Structure 1
Amino acid sequence: MLFLKRNMPRVISVLILVIVFSLFAVNVFAAGENFGQNAYTWLQSQIWFIALLIVAVICVPFIMKKMWMQLAGFLVLAAIVLYIVNDPTALKSLGSTIWSKIFN
């Protein structure tokens, strides 16, 4: 935690740079007739890698502190979240299945 307190300005500046470069990249990779659909497709393909990076960063403290059970639980939860991020229609079909089981 002390590391994060000391380096918070650097972390914030890196996050701002990533956001700015991502906005420029959207203009480059989503150019064309249908900008909205192209931007959605490009962002959907990139968000999985961002989520994977977040999972990796969160796993590091668990590994460093040798908290193996918490790491296993987090990896199960992360696998579910990454699956939903990779295929958002799976969440919709899961919700409709649960709804039909409860109310029909």
Structure 2
Amino acid sequence: MSSTGAARLLPWLSPDGNPCFLVGDGAGFVSRIADEMEVAQLGVADELIEEAGRILDARTWTPGEIHLLAVELTASLVTVRRVAESRGARLPVSDDEGCDAGVGARGSV
């Protein structure tokens, strides 16, 4: 995606739970795997949103179902935020943007 050589936040964690980064031109094997994984993660989030709507619309949920839904939604939100941070960090920043504009566009999510 980006040829800036900046470190890309990958959509997975190390075995120790630390963030993983990749430095490259965005065209290599690991970049393609990361792109595919991001698409899959966003697809899972879409499915979970639909499922949450069905569960909540039914109004017949048990406390266990609501708890599981909250756990799954939280995990998905963490993943989607990670994808957003990674993609946002790879957006080009034009030289004519002011300091404040850059922070607002690429600041913390």
| TM-score category, normalised to shorter length | 0.3 to 0.5
TM-score by length of 1: 0.38
Larger Rg: 1
The structure with higher relative contact order (CA 8 Å, sep 6+) is 2
Identify, as 1 or 2, the structure richer in helix: 1
Length-normalised TM-score, structure 2: 0.37
